Structure 1
Amino acid sequence: MSVATTDRLLLRDWTDAPADLARIYDIYSRHEVMRWLGGGTGRLTEPGQAAERLTSWRDRYARYAGRYGLWAIEVRDTGAVAGSVLLKPLPGADGHTPTSDIEVGWHLHPDSWGHGYATEAARAVLAREFTTDTRQVYAVVTPGNERSMAVCRRLGMAHLGRRTDWYGGTEVETFVRTAPASR
C-alpha cells in the first residue's frame, strides 16, 4: 500500500517479498545504522530475522489503520529501497506505552545517505500528518548523530535540546515541528 509519493519517492508498506526482506536485513544488520537506534540493540544478525522484524512492525502499527507506521522509502526511478520512514506515537517513560506525542524518523541504508531521501520522505509524512488534528511532531536523535540532526534542521524543526521524556528516559536530542497555520 502506498502511503505517500513525492517527485522522487514512493512511501509504501514493507512487504514479505524476498527483495524487501533482504533490504530490511541489509539495513538493520549494519552497525553504522543501528548504532543510532537504541544504542545498537535490536541489530539483526541472521537474514531470517528480517521476516520477524517485519511481522513485529505490522503487529505494532496494525491498530493505527495506516495513520502511523514504519514504511519503505522506494526510489521511483530505480525501484531501490533507500530505507524506512516512520511516524508513530513516542513511547513514554516506561519505554513502551504510547504517549500523545508523535515522532517522525528515518533509517536509511548507507548507500542512500546524502541524496536528500530522508528529508523528502519525512516532509511527505509530516504534511500528511498535519492534515489531521496533530499540532506538532517531534524527532528524537541519538546525541552525536549529526546527519539526522541536519535532516531535522532541513525540515524546519526547532531544536529543544536534550530531553529524557520518552524511550524509557534515554537522553535524546529533541526537535519539534509545529503544524503550518491554517489559512
Structure 2
Amino acid sequence: MTVFETDRLIVRQWTESDADVARVFDMLSRWEVARWLGARPRVLENEAAALAAIRRWRGRASADGLHGVWAVDVRDTGATAGSVLVLPLPGLDNEPTGDIEVGWHLHPDSWGRGYATESAAAAIERVFAAGLPQIYAVIREGNTPSTAVAARLGMTAIGKQSRWYGGIELDTYRLAAPDR
C-alpha cells in the first residue's frame, strides 16, 4: 500500500514478502547501517529477525497513516532504498512521548543519491499539513551523513538531548512548521 510519493520515490508499507524480508535483512545485518539505530544498536542475525522488525514497524503505524516506518522504493528501478519514518519519540521510560521524530535508514547501495532527504522532506510535509507544530531528528554523534540530511531539510541543531530513547545522549535537530 502506497503511503505517499515524490517525483522519484514511492513510499509504502513494508510487507512480509520474501523480497522485503531479504532487503531488510541485507540492510540491517550491516554494522555500517545498524550502528546508528535504536537505543542499543545491533545487527540482525537472520531473516527471522528481519521479519520480526517488519512486524514491529507495521505495528507502529497509526490508524490515520501519519505515523509509521515505511519502505522507500525508487520509482524508476523498483529497488527498495531503505526506510523513512515518522514516529513519536520514546521517552526515558521508552513509552511514546508527544514529540515526533523523522528518521531514515538506507541500504549502503542507495547512499548518496538524495533518497533520505527526498523521502524525509515529503514525510515532514505530511506532518505539517496535519497540523503538527514541529518535528525532531535525533542522530548519534559521528553520523555525519545523517547530520547532512538534517541540514538539507532545514532543521536546526538544538544540542545534545537525553530525554528520549531511555536517556541516551543524541544530537538533536528541530524543524518548526512554516507559518501558513
Q: TM-score scaled to structure 1, two decimals?
A: 0.94
User: Identity over the aligned pairs, expressed in percent?
Assistant: 52
- Name which of 105, 121, 133 aligns with 1:123: 121
Partner of 1:162: 160
Partner of 1:89: 88
> Residue 29 of structure 1 aligns to which amino acid in structure 2?
S
Q: Give structure 2 stretches of 5+ with no counterpart.
A: none
Q: Does 1:69 align with 2:57?
A: no
In structure 2, what is the Cα distance between the partners aligned to 1:56 and 1:82? 19
Q: Is contact 1:101–1:138 with CA below 8 Å preserved after alignment?
A: yes
In structure 2, what is the Cα distance between the partners aligned to 1:59 and 1:127? 23
Q: How does 1:1-183 map to 2 (within 5 A)?
A: 1-38=1-38, 41-61=41-61, 63-94=62-93, 96-182=94-180
> Residue 38 of structure 2 aligns to which amino acid in structure 1?
G
> Residue 20 of structure 2 aligns to which amino acid in structure 1?
D
Q: Give structure 1 stretches of 5+ with no counterpart.
A: none
Superposed CA offset, 1:11-32 (max 9, x none): 0001111111110111111100
- Kindly report the root-mean-square deviation, in angstroms, between the aligned alpha carbons of the 2 structures: 1.2
Partner SS, residue 126 of structure 2: helix
> Residue 143 of structure 2 aligns to which amino acid in structure 1?
N
> Residue 180 of structure 1 aligns to which amino acid in structure 2?
P
Q: Is contact 2:155–2:173 with CA below 8 Å preserved after alignment?
A: yes
In structure 1, what is the Cα distance between the partners aligned to 2:77 and 2:32? 24
In structure 2, what is the Cα distance between the partners aligned to 1:40 and 1:171? 12
Q: Is contact 1:88–1:102 with CA below 8 Å preserved after alignment?
A: yes
> Residue 171 of structure 1 aligns to which amino acid in structure 2?
E
Q: Is contact 1:85–1:121 with CA below 8 Å preserved after alignment?
A: yes
Shift of 1:168: 0.7
> Residue 67 of structure 2 aligns to which amino acid in structure 1?
Y
> Residue 106 of structure 2 aligns to which amino acid in structure 1?
L
Q: Is contact 2:39–2:165 with CA below 8 Å preserved after alignment?
A: no
In structure 1, what is the Cα distance between the partners aligned to 2:51 and 2:113? 28
Cα distance change of structure 1 residues 42 and 64 upon mapping to structure 2, 3 Å threshold: farther
Shift of 1:65: 3.7
Number of aligned residues: 180
Q: TM-score scaled to structure 2, two decimals?
A: 0.96
In structure 2, what is the Cα distance between the partners aligned to 1:147 and 1:105? 12
Shift of 1:4: 1.0
Superposed CA offset, 1:18-62 (max 9, x none): 11111011111110001111366342101222211111112233x
